């Protein structure tokens, strides 16, 4: 007989595993599949799914698999550590890793067939050394800066970089598979720098070809470029935030579907009189008799403290204001006169279909961009995966997990 006697301290805690989590980020795989397909339909180029930063907070391996199933052929990450995490999970698709220091160990990445982005001679030599050490040819993508002034070779150093790369190609240490750059302002329609960057990129490609390189993959566009700047597409496009359902172009909506719903359970409900002062420093006073709900999520979980004064959550079919300061692990929502119960679902943000707040709302309330909210959702929040039926009529099921 199962030990369910409350008095037995050795009895296993009943159904802890199956109990709904305090809080979770539910990732709608159908949304990611839809967004990947939608972006693929906008271009003849191949799609690189950018799954850096744990898939923008959605889970690197799960996101990689979903996007590859939906037509992406490449994966993009910032570090060899992220790339090897994909390889260790059995993901065999081409992966490009684009941030490194020359004295790091590239041998595992080169041995695992990870393409390495190179912006300077120091990195190029280090990758070539690693290739010789493992007896392989390293596949590199030379990056030129066309106007972001971040990574990428400065244009005046580019001719020397491509010459050096060509020499290393002759040695068999590297193969230059890609030439690439990154756009600064494709999210602002009509921004003149985008055209200037495209022109500089074309010049850099011509210089690389004149040096004898024959890159098969030219790539420049991010999500905004994919959706709004067709002349930036070339052979490969790098889709990031759009995959996760954030509209990337200012003032334009493409019908991308937000993939993450952040939700929790009410862990405490109290009935309080008008004038009750709530949370640290008592910055909130209840305007009427009513119910307060305690939500087990805080800024350690990525709910931005700065959004407190404007924040809203969705409980029992309506938006409810955040009451007072968001703390590290918890915050309070004010139900007003609507009764609530311990265990009630609290949606912090979701797709917005029913009127619940979206990640874009939270970004606005916090004075930031949705990317920062999504990537900031903490490790303590469990990620769970679903293939939610679309609430849009006529939208057919894309994936079942």
CA distance 389 to 342: 28
- 8-state DSSP, 286: -
Q: Which stretch binds ligand PLP (CB under 6 A): 7-15, 162-170, 198-206, 238-246?
A: 238-246
List 153, 207, 222, 232, residue binding ligand PLP (CB under 6 A): 222
Q: Is the dihedral of CA 140, 146, 150, 156 positive or negative?
A: positive
State yes or no: is 280 an active-site residue. yes
Q: Give the nearer residue to ligand PLP in terms of CB position, either 224 or 332.
A: 224
List 223, 261, 276, 358, residue binding ligand PLP (CB under 6 A): 223
Within 13 Å of residue 168, how many CA atoms lie on the same side as its CB? 29
* DSSP secondary structure of 136-196: S-EEEEEEB-SSS-SSSB-GGGHHHHHHHHHHHHHHTSEEEEEEE---SSTTSTT-HHHHH
Token reading at 377? 């959702």
Site string for ligand PLP, 86-115 (x = CB under 6 A): ------------x-----------------
Q: Which stretch binds ligand PLP (CB under 6 A): 235-243, 255-263, 271-279, 310-318?
A: 235-243
List 241, 266, 326, 333, residue binding ligand PLP (CB under 6 A): 241
Q: Which of 354, 349, 256, 355 is nearest to 31 (CA)?
A: 256
Q: Is 54 left (phi over 0), alpha (psi -120 to 50) or beta?
A: left
Own/partner contacts of 96-105, CB < 8 Å, gap of 24 or more, are 96/48, 96/141, 96/178, 98/141, 98/143, 98/151, 99/151, 100/126, 102/126, 104/80, 105/130
Residue 328 counted as an annotated binding residue: yes
CA distance 303 to 301: 6
Q: Which stretch binds ligand PLP (CB under 6 A): 120-128, 232-240, 348-356, 387-395?
A: 232-240
Token reading at 219? 């790539």
List 31, 205, 239, 278, residue binding ligand PLP (CB under 6 A): 239
State yes or no: is 52 an active-site residue. yes
Q: In whole angstroms, how close is the CB of 374 to ligand PLP at the nearest point?
A: 10
- Establish if 50 lies at the interface with ligand PLP (CB under 6 A): yes
Question: Which alpha helices (H) appear in 231-382, and where do they start and end?
Answer: 359-366, 370-376
List 240, 290, 296, 370, residue binding ligand PLP (CB under 6 A): 240
Q: Give the nearer residue to ligand PLP in terms of CB position, either 98 or 314.
A: 98
- Establish if 388 lies at the interface with ligand PLP (CB under 6 A): no
Q: Strand, helix or coil at 362?
A: helix
Q: Select which of 6, 252, 280, 385 is catalytic.
A: 280
CA distance 89 to 111: 16
Residue 320 counted as an annotated binding residue: no
Q: Select which of 52, 143, 234, 284 is catalytic.
A: 52
Q: Which of 220, 263, 225 is nearest to 242 (CA)?
A: 225
Q: Give the nearer residue to ligand PLP in terms of CB position, either 123 or 238.
A: 238
Q: In whole angstroms, how close is the CB of 224 to ligand PLP at the nearest point?
A: 6
CA distance 296 to 256: 29
Q: In whole angstroms, how close is the CB of 329 to ligand PLP at the nearest point?
A: 30
- 8-state DSSP, 22: S
Q: How many angstroms separate the Cα of 363 from the Cα of each of 7, 18, 348, 357, 369?
A: 48, 32, 12, 10, 5
Q: In whole angstroms, how close is the CB of 286 to ligand PLP at the nearest point?
A: 41
Q: Which stretch binds ligand PLP (CB under 6 A): 26-34, 218-226, 312-320, 335-343?
A: 218-226
- Establish if 215 lies at the interface with ligand PLP (CB under 6 A): no
Instruction: Give the binding-site size for ligand PLP (rule: CB under 6 A).
Output: 13
- Establish if 176 lies at the interface with ligand PLP (CB under 6 A): no
Yes or no: say if 299 and 310 are a contact pair by the CB < 8 Å rule. Answer: no
- Establish if 248 lies at the interface with ligand PLP (CB under 6 A): yes
Q: In whole angstroms, how close is the CB of 246 to ligand PLP at the nearest point?
A: 8
Q: Which stretch binds ligand PLP (CB under 6 A): 3-11, 217-225, 339-347, 361-369?
A: 217-225
Known catalytic residues are 52, 280
Known binding-site positions: 150, 328
Binding site for ligand PLP (CB under 6 A): 50, 52, 98, 182, 222-224, 238-242, 248
Known binding-site positions for substrate: 150, 328
């Amino acid at each position: 007989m199962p030990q369910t006697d409350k008095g037995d301290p050795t009895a296993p805690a009943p159904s802890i595993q199956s109990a709904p989590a305090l809080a979770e980020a539910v990732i709608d795989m159908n949304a990611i599949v839809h967004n990947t397909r939608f972006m693929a339909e906008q271009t003849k180029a191949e799609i690189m799914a950018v799954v850096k930063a744990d898939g923008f907070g959605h889970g690197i391996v799960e996101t990689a698999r979903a996007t590859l199933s939906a037509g992406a052929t490449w994966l993009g990450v910032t570090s060899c550590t992220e790339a090897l995490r994909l390889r260790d999970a059995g993901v065999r698709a081409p992966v490009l890793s684009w941030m490194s220091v020359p004295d790091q160990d590239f041998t595992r990445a080169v041995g695992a067939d990870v393409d390495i982005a190179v912006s300077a001679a120091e990195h190029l030599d280090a990758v070539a050394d690693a290739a010789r050490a493992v007896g392989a040819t390293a596949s590199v993508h030379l990056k030129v800066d066309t106007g972001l002034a971040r990574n990428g070779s400065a244009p005046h150093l580019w001719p020397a970089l491509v010459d050096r790369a060509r020499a290393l190609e002759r040695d068999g240490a590297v193969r230059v598979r890609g030439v690439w750059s990154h756009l600064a302002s494709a999210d602002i329609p009509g921004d003149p720098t985008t055209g200037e960057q495209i022109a500089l990129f074309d010049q850099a490609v011509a210089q690389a070809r004149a040096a004898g390189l024959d890159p098969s993959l030219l790539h420049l566009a991010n999500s905004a470029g994919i959706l709004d700047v067709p002349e930036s597409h070339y052979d490969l496009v790098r889709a990031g935030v759009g995959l996760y359902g954030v509209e990337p172009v200012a003032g334009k909506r493409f019908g991308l579907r937000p993939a993450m719903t952040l939700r929790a359970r009410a862990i405490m409900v109290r009935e309080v009189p008008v004038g009750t002062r709530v949370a640290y420093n008592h910055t909130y006073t209840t305007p009427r008799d009513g119910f307060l709900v305690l939500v087990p999520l805080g800024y350690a979980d990525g709910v931005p403290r700065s959004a407190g004064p404007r924040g809203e959550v969705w409980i029992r079919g309506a938006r409810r204001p955040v009451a007072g300061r968001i703390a590290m692990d918890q915050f309070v929502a004010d139900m007003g006169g609507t009764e609530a119960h311990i265990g009630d679902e609290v949606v912090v943000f979701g797709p917005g279909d029913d009127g619940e707040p979206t990640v874009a709302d939270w970004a606005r309330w916090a004075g930031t961009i949705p990317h920062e909210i999504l990537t900031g959702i903490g490790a303590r929040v469990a990620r769970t995966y679903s293939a939610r039926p679309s609430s849009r009529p006529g939208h057919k099921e894309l994936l079942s997990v």
